[in-house]
Amino acid sequence: MPLRAGSAAMVKVTFKPGGESGETEAGTTILAAAASLGVTITAPCGGRGRCGKCRVIAEKGCAPPTPSERDQLTGEELRHGIRLACEAVLLEDAQVIIPSDSRTISGKILADDAREEISLRPNVSRRTVVLPAPSLSDQRSDFERVADGLGTPAQSLRMHREALAELPSVLRDNDFKVDVITVGDTIAGVRPPNARPCCLGAAVDIGTTTVVVYLVDLSSGERLATASALNPQARWGHDLISRIEHVQSTPAGLEDLRRSIVDLINRLLGETTEQAGVRRRDIYEVSIVGNTCMHHMFLGLDPRHLAHAPYIPVTREPLELSAEEAGLALSPAANVYCLPVIAGFVGADTVGVLLVSRLTERDHPTLAIDIGTNGEVMLWSGERLLVASCAAGPAFEGGEIRHGVRAADGAIERVWLSNGSIGYATIGSTRPNGICGSGIFDTVATLLDSGVADSTGRLADEQAAEKLQRGLVERLRGEGPQREFVLVESAESANGDIVFTQKDLREVQLAKGAVRAAVELLCSAAGIEANDIAEVLLAGAFGNYIDRRSALRMGLLPEVGVEQIRGVGNAAGAGALAALVSVDERQRAAELARQAEHIELMASPAFQMVFADSMIFPES
């Protein structure tokens, strides 16, 4: 159907691999048609037919090649339907394939919970090349032929041995038209053209407790599958120090720990590829995030010096190693990228927070906090980036708390004061069986607000209790260190009386004091006051679930408006995903890790004093 003057004939165009489809006027360029469907094709010259970068494959439906296309494409390429999107004009219904290197995807980051948009710019790319067959007058090696097809000098390109080994057959079985997969500047594989999906990556978040693997199609940025499991190193202890002691006490201890985590990651990689129905050997890159101890154990690096002063990591730089070196069963040419760490107790997970929170792009002093057993506090002063770790202890997660429980059905997650009586809510709205982290925050805030506890963290004694509302007085019992507050009576509970003890309150005070002292000391190091902080970012589950008012009431955070406190989600996993899909993000991660000044709180003479002050709760 040739285009006639004055006609408004419509043609249907479908873009692959995204599947975007729509109608456009005949006579429209492919580039314009793509834009109208929200599909972005790389066109550095602005669509003026000059740079030759907007190559697409359109075997039918277009007007004959323009002079500019004839200039920039070889006869062979034209015969195979390769066109310049900015020049080729649609005349009939057409299907257009956009090779990954001509595609720009700017979408939501792959993790649902990330803060910022990440542009897809993976280290792994795939490109279709159409090569002339060799002859006595063209005896270039198979490798040079491919390099020439990519437009890269052979001497500046590497090729993995196993990729070289399969190269002659794949080229000849596919008449010298193949997809070339590169990882960085190394050709990692050649494949029959348009086999899909064949360019996969995995982001791995190694937590002390849980390990998560995300499988991603690197051509589209699509997250294909996720699998997680408990960290099997728990058999040598739930906390890092116990695991490090296993290294100390057993000759093969480090190898035990390394092997267990590597085996688990291999298993989870298998689960994700099975879920997604793809081949494991099509995974060409893996990004790894974890705290410094997990990072060291995954790499088989001695973690013993992390555990005692001066807490020295073996290395902090971002690392790249081969899948074989890392022990991962993937494409033999796969690359394993480990995000950098900052210090012995400030790991790649913290770099993930810095990366996805865009902390250093704020124009006001901003604080970011990630709390697990260990707390990491990050302060952007507007000019400097300071980080510190503090031993928050497990109280905020319910550890060392008499009726503390993990966040699961039956856990009290909200507590409030209502007309002199205590209200509460449980996860799953079932009978309460204990108090989880967010419930602990609310409990402490409620005790403070009601006067049941004073600013020194002491539960009201008999005498002081006289001033309390009746409903509360009855809930206090015991003497001295045994004094406790009954949150839920056994009649309502699945687990007998649920109480919050004087000792529980002290544990919370220690944890809160440690974090707040870190905030104060970072502010002091940066030459600002805590009051100058305009925004607070909370990472992880902590940021998702605690009541911000309770955190403020406890004096854990500097006094900012509640609306200036924001959660940044699972920033560790999001950081691994960001680094997986974008080399720019890796660059940024390396810069953040270098820029971060680690403040060793223990080295500060003021620490004990500030810590003691920080344990005090605000007056009201």
Q: Which stretches of the chain bind its own copies, using CB under 8 A?
A: 134-144, 154-155, 158-159, 161, 164-165, 167-169, 172, 299-302, 304-305, 309-317, 319-322, 324-326, 343-344, 590, 594, 598, 600, 602-603
Nearer to its own copies among residue 228 and residue 315 (C-beta): 315
**Least distance in angstroms from the C-beta of 89 to its own copies:** 39
Neighbours of 223 (CB within 10 A): 19
Nearest approach in angstroms of CB 588 to its own copies is 14
Q: Nearer to its own copies by C-beta: 243 or 316?
A: 316
* Whole-number CA gyration radius for the chain: 30
What region does 248 belong to: left with phi over 0, alpha with psi -120 to 50, or beta? alpha
CA–CA separation, 117 and 457 (whole Å): 43
Q: How far is the CB of 521 from its own copies (least distance, A)?
A: 14
Instruction: Give 154 or 494: the residue with its C-beta nearer to its own copies.
Output: 154
From CA 175, how far away is CA 169, in angstroms rounded?
10
Long-range own/partner contacts, residues 408-413 (CB < 8 A, 24 or more apart): 408/436, 410/434, 410/494, 411/435, 411/436, 411/439, 412/436, 412/439, 412/443, 412/487, 412/488, 412/498, 413/438, 413/439, 413/545
Determine how many CB atoms are found less than 10 A away from the CB of residue 347. Answer: 29
CB of 183 to its own copies, least distance (A): 15
Q: What is the DSSP letter of 139?
A: -
Instruction: Kindly give the interhelix angle for 142-150 and 161-173, rounded to the nearest 10 degrees.
Output: 80
**Closer by beta carbon to its own copies, 196 or else 304:** 304
Angle between helices 583-595 and 348-357 (to 10 degrees): 110
> Which C-beta is closer to its own copies: that of 258 or that of 403?
258
Q: In 496-611, at which residue ranges do the beta strands (DSSP E only) sit?
A: 498-501, 535-539, 565-567, 597-598
Least Å distance between CB 273 and its own copies? Answer: 24
- Rounded to whole angstroms, how far apart are CA atoms 416 and 550? 10
Residue among 247 and 445 whose Cβ is closer to its own copies: 247
- Min separation Cβ 608 and its own copies, Å: 15
Identify which of residues 76 and 324 has a Cβ nearer to its own copies in the complex.
324
Cβ 172 to its own copies shortest distance, Å: 8
| DSSP states along 311-377 | ---S--S-EEEEHHHHT--S-TT-EEEE----BTTB-HHHHHHHHHHTGGG-SS-EEEEEESSSEEE
Task: Give min distance, CB of 141 to its own copies, in A.
Answer: 5
Contacts of 137 (CB under 8 A, 6+ apart): none
Residue 139 or 463 having the CB closest to its own copies: 139
Task: Say if residue 251 is preceded by a cis peptide, omega within 30 of 0.
Answer: no
- Shortest Å distance, C-beta 352 to its own copies: 19
Give the sign of the dihedral formed by CA 138, CA 142, CA 148, CA 152. negative
CA dist 529 to 82, 494, 524, 558, Å? 61, 46, 7, 9
Nearer to its own copies by C-beta: 388 or 395? Answer: 388
* C-alpha distances in Å from residue 146, one per residue of 55, 77, 143, 213, 549: 17, 14, 5, 33, 61
The nearer residue to its own copies, 136 or 491, going by C-beta atoms, is 136
Q: How far is the CB of 291 from its own copies (least distance, A)?
A: 15
- Closer of 137 and 620 to its own copies (Cβ): 137
For helices 583-595 and 571-581, the axis angle rounded to 10 degrees is 130
Residue (8 or 603) nearer to its own copies, CB: 603
User: Closest separation between CB of residue 128 and its own copies, Å?
Assistant: 21
Closest CA to 255 of 289, 299, 292: 299
Q: How far is the CB of 341 from its own copies (least distance, A)?
A: 8
